[in-house]
Structure 1
Amino acid sequence: MRDGHGVLVLMGSGETSPTMVEIHRSVVRGLGAAPRAVLLDTPYAFQENAADISARARGYFARSVGLEIEVSARPEGADWVFSGPGSPTFALDRWSGSGIADELRARVRARRGATVLASAAACTAGLATVPVYEIYKVGQDPHWREGLDLLEPLGLRAAVIPHFDNAEGGTHDTRYCYLGERRLSLMEDLLPPDAFVLGIDEHTAVIIDLETGEVAVAGRGALTVRRRGSQTVLPAGGGTDLAGIGRLARGGAPARVPRQAGPPAPRQVTLEEAARERERDVRAALTRHDTAAAVRAVLDLESEIVTWSADTEEDAGGVDDARRTLRSLIAVLGGLADTVDPHDRLAPMVEPLLALRGELRRSHRYDLADALRAALSAGGVLVEDTPDGPRWSVTGARHRPAGTACA
């Protein structure tokens, strides 16, 4: 985005994660000094933890982007407007009945300010919206809800689907914002004949310069232009223009647009990937019997979790999953500690005391020698005098000779 231009940013997910920091910074830089920034909390306002989500988002933008934001129900007068996770249909119901939908459309038509919609909010941006909770969680038949149609002033008749490459299902298809191929194919037939789908991968942003019409894809995934099962993929780092998007929807080739220097490449590792990598590091270190390296890997994971703590997404691979991995790795280290023989752990202390006891006995200080033996016994170390010298064992542990005899 060039300085002073209005911009519409659509994010597939990860809007308050480290992967998107540089994208947010590049957008904010184009707004000049001290822009008024507003977070629309509507999509998640029904949740019991809504205040916590807002607080984490405010902390993320202040700390990572250098942007102080206010939580508001309306975008009017804001230089930068952001909305993210939650329920697309809950947001639509409230925005459509309150005039906010008209205000958002007016921002795009006027080509002013930055409007950043992510996850659930991005779902509402097209002419039709995926009612994801109703279909995926409640089991309603595949259908669309009327969207905000922010893309209509830009010449695009499209439905926006975030989380396009979601793989959370594992054994079942959760691509396309949890619809899967079967349901998306059914829903495509319900769109107007000239309409198409814009699919945005997770941790990916589509940045539209509202004045020049340039379209840039940034992040770690891709933008997919899909119509009736036929699709073209534009990977991150690429660019086209609004007319090029339209040509792709009609089966043509996009025009490449010379781009200004784009935002720096964002961090490419998600928290889920970092957790898996740290887990591999721990197990590899333990295979090498390098306990120090295993501990460092666990501490690195803890640091990653702190870095991602502002992430308001609740996808697989989030902070809760990483914490479960962290706890399991700590348990592995704890189990390793339990395998250390108590005899080996206590030997550096017990052996010198037994040597001292031997000196006391040779000096006929049997009272002190017996007192030392009694003290060891009280501490869980049992000493047995044998013809070959004293042997000791730990209470509750298997009996093992010291290997050192005292005369």
Structure 2
Amino acid sequence: MPGLLVLMGSGETSPTMVEIHRAAARTLRPGARAVLLDTPYAFQENRADISARACRYFAHSVGLDVEVAPGITGADWVFSGPGSPTYALDRWAGSGVAGDLRARIRAREGVTVLASAAACTAGLATVPVYEIYKVGAEPHWREGIDLLEPLGLQTVLIPHFDNAEGGTHDTRFCYLGERRLSRMERELPPGTAVLGLDEHTALVIDLRAESVHVTGRGGLTVRRPGARTVLPAGTRTTLAGLRRLAEGVTGTPVPPPPEPEAAPAEVTLEESVQACEELFTSAVARPDLVAAAQAVLDLEAEIVKWAADTEEDAGGVEQARELMRHLIARLGDLAATATQRSQALPSLVEPLLTLRADLRGEGCYDVADALRSAMLRGGVLVEDTPDGPRWTPAP
């Protein structure tokens, strides 16, 4: 029986974290029981859809058959992720799940993976992020389930530590920003440290070997009043070493600079979307409408790749789809100009028809219809026939 605690800052069902999940899953026995706790997002109307996407992700990308269950008794592998930390706390306390999670860590058995909102509950106190950031409540703490106490860590854990989506305002530290976090730190019990886990980053604790590994795209920040230590991805240390850093023991050595990770970290969806948009803009400026169409095809491929991602805070897949609709509309307008000045229309139309077929194959009929309408505005009539789509210049 393995003993692993994996805490993730974000990206828990995205391509960026696949290898981390696979490494944890490889420690399981054949036929291991894997359970997804949907509690943090159970209040959402799309609860079933989020669970279905997560289960597809683990089945297809990780090779793990996962069941959605209200409890974790008898589970070898447990996962919980996005949603509201306080909603999860209230229900876990009443159902006994909080005690069961603590028992797993105390016994140092099983694989326990907590991410985003669920990871936020792992310390002695929890950031009520919905109430503070989205409702406007005064900064305060909620009691956590304190999974780290059996490991000798008097800490709170804050995911999304390097969040930057606020743009003009500070959304670091799980949307608290420096002003609110500094105020809240003064309310923690003396000797409590903050463990800040960056987005698309994991803290992997081998409970039996008492080893610690920071992996992913960012780092782990150990923050105490007047002091801060950052352990970048690739850092390996011991649980005792992390404990000394959290306690602020004078003379505690900082782990040596890490070796490069074996495989480069996956780019995020946000980065991929930005790259596709830049390629599209560059192609239009040349102008090269075939390259512009290819940029839209690349964007569609990224949307399919990230379809299982349950993280919605940064816009996610829906925001990428909105951009694709916008680029498709621009292609339609540009195609109208191209029709008037060039006889090379097939070189533009064929990639667009490929894109439309891919969209229909993925069930994105609304976007496929938008593409056909855009092509019609650009002077291309697309008709679906028993032998496949046929296009002609529009009358």
Unaligned residue ranges in structure 1 (runs of 5+)? 348-395, 397-407
Report the alpha carbon displacement of residue 264 of structure 1 after superposing the two structures with TM. Answer: 4.9
C-alpha contact 1:240 1:255 (8 A) present in aligned 2: no
Return the match for 2:143 from 143, 146, 151. 146
Pick from 85, 107, 117: which aligns with 2:114? 117
Q: TM-score, length-normalised on structure 1?
A: 0.81
Output aligned runs, 1:132-281, within 5 Å.
Answer: 132-249=129-246, 250=248, 252-254=251-253, 256=255, 264-265=262-263, 267-281=265-279
Give 1:256 shift: 4.0
Deviation digits for residues 82-109 of structure 1 (CA, Å, limit 9, x no counterpart): 0000100000001111111110000001
1:66–1:258: structure 2 CA closer, same or farther, 3 Å change rule? farther
Aligned twin of 2:310: 312
1:26 maps to what in 2?
23
What does the per-residue CA deviation read over 1:89-139, in whole Å, with 9 as the maximum and x for residues that have no partner?
Answer: 000001111111110000001010100000000000000000001111111
Structure 1 pair 343–143 and aligned structure 2 pair: CA distance change class (3 A): closer
For the residue of structure 2 that corresponds to 1:340, the secondary structure is helix
CA RMSD of aligned residues (A): 2.3
Distance in 2, matches of 1:154 and 1:202, equals 23
What one-letter code is carried by the residue in structure 2 that aligns with 1:269? Answer: V
Is the contact between residue 23 and residue 266 of structure 1 (CA under 8 Å) also seen in structure 2?
Answer: no
Counterpart amino acid of residue 202 in structure 1: E
Write the distance in 1 (CA, Å) between the matches of 2:72 and 2:297: 41
> Structure 2 vs 1, CA of residues 167 and 258 (structure 1 numbering), >3 Å: closer, same or farther?
closer
Moved more, 284-293 or 270-279: 284-293
SS class of match (1:173): coil
Look up the match of 2:91: 94
Q: 1:297 to 1:110 in 2, by over 3 A?
A: same
Partner residue in 2 for 1:300: 298
The answer on 1:321 being equivalent to 2:315 is no
Q: For residues 266 and 127 of structure 1, do their structure 2 counterparts lie closer, same or farther at Cα, with a shift above 3 Å needed?
A: farther
Give 1:341 deviation, angstroms. 5.7
TM-fit CA distance, 1:337: 1.1
What secondary structure sits across from 1:339 in the alignment?
A: helix
Superposed displacement of residue 335, structure 1: 1.8
String of CA shifts for 1:15-66, please: whole Å, max 9, x gaps.
0000000000000001122211000011111110000000000000000000
Is this contact kept in 1: 2:235–2:256, CA < 8 A? no
Residues 280 and 296 of structure 2 are in contact (CA less than 8 Å); yes or no, is this contact kept in structure 1?
Answer: yes
Equivalent residue number for residue 334 of structure 2: 336
Query: Does structure 1 retain, via aligned residues, the 8 Å contact 2:36–2:66?
Result: yes
How many residue pairs align between the two structures? 345
1:49 and 1:346, CA in 2 relative to 1: closer, same or farther beyond 3 A?
A: closer
Match of 2:82 among 79, 85, 102: 85
Do the aligned partners of 2:153 and 2:243 also contact (CA within 8 Å) in 1? Answer: yes
Unaligned runs of 5+ in 2: 346-394
Per-residue deviation, 1:246: 2.2
Instruction: Give percent identity, aligned residues only.
Output: 67
Q: Is the 8 A contact 1:88 1:131 kept in 2?
A: yes
Of the structure 1 ranges 262-271 and 299-308, higher mean CA displacement relative to structure 2 is found in 262-271
Distance in 2 of aligned mates of 1:346 and 1:76: 64
Tell me what 2:373 maps to. none
51, 57, 66: which one pairs with 1:54?
Answer: 51
Task: Give, as a single letter, the amino acid of the residue that structure 2 aligns with 1:319.
Answer: V
Q: Which amino acid aligns with 1:305?
A: I
Gap change, CA 1:200 and 1:209, over 3 Å in 2: same
Aligned partners of 1:17, 1:285: CA distance in 2, in Å?
Answer: 29
Cα distance in 1 between the residues matched to 2:325 and 2:252: 50
User: For the Cα contact (< 8 Å) 1:209–1:215, is it kept in 2?
Assistant: yes
